[in-house]
Amino acid sequence: MISMSYDLAKLPIQSLLRPLSDAGIALARLDERIARSPVGEGWIERSHFADACASLWIDGELVHLEDLVLHDAGHDIRTPTHELTIARDVLRTRRRIASQPPGWAFSPDGLRTLRQAWPAASLRADCTAGGDETTPDLAAVEGGEGEDASEQDTSPNDAELAAIGCHLNRPIRLMIEGAGFRIDRIETGYMRGPKPMTFMYEGSARPK
C-alpha cells in the first residue's frame, strides 16, 4: 500500500480560514435561508426524495430517484420493487416529521408514532395533518394508488406475492412457477457468504 505524506506547514491555512468560516456560517443559517427562499419548499421536497434513496443505499439496495418520484405520484412505469416501497415509506415518514413542530420526533408521542410498523405509520401520515389519528380508508389502500379495487385483476396468489419481504419467507416456488417454469428440484439451506451465514436456494427448473 502506497500512502501519501502531507506537509501541513505548506498548507495555506491562513487563506483557508476565512472561506471555512463563511461556509460554516452559511450552513448554520441554512434553515433560515431556505424558509425565505422562493425555491425553499421545492428544495426541501427534493431533499426528502434524495435522503429516502440514500437510506436504502446505506443498506446496499439501489433505488433510483426517478422511480421513487413516479411511485410517489402513482405513475409507475414498472412493477414497484420491495426496496422501492420501503423508500416510499421513508419518504412519507420524513414528510410527517417535517410537518410537525420542532422537537416532535423526539417527544414521547413522536417516538411512539414513528415506531409503528409499516404500513401503519405511512398510512397514518397520509390520513392526518396534525397529531390526531384517524382510521384510513383500507379499501382504497388495498386497491392501490389512484385505482379502483373493483377494476383490478385479482389472482389467488396476490396475497402471497404482496407479503414478499425477507428472502426467508418469499414464496420462491410460487414465483418460479408463475414465471412459466416447472421445478424439478429445489433445496434450501445455509452456507457461508457475505454475512456469517447466508440462506440459499438451489435447484433446477425448465420451461413449461
**Helix/strand/coil (H/E/C) assignment for every residue in the chain:** CCCCCCCHHHCCHHHHHHHHHHHHHHHHCHHHHHHHCCCHHHHHHHHHHHHHHHHHHHCCCCCCHHHHHHHHHCCCCCCCCHHHHHHHHHHHHHHHHHHCCCCHHHCHHHHHHHCCCCCHHHHHHHHCCCCCCCCCCHHHHHHCCCCCHHHCCCCCCHHHHHCCCCHHHCCHHHHHHHCCEEEEEEEEEEECCCCCCEEEEEEEEEEC
Is residue 76 within 8 A of residue 70, CB to CB? The reply is yes
The per-residue pLDDT for 155 is: 58
CB 149 within 8 A of CB 158: no
Write down the pLDDT at residue 131: 42
pLDDT at 186: 82
Burial of 12 (0-12, 13-18, 19+ CB in 10 A): exposed
pLDDT tens, per residue, the chain with 208 residues? 566 777 767 777 778 888 889 889 888 888 888 888 899 889 889 999 999 999 888 878 888 899 999 999 988 888 888 888 889 989 999 999 988 898 888 888 888 888 764 444 444 444 443 444 444 444 444 444 444 444 445 555 555 555 555 555 566 777 788 788 888 888 877 666 655 556 677 888 888 8
Q: What pLDDT score was predicted for residue 158? A: 57
What sign for the dihedral angle of Cα 109, 111, 116, 122? Answer: positive
* Full-model pTM: 0.47
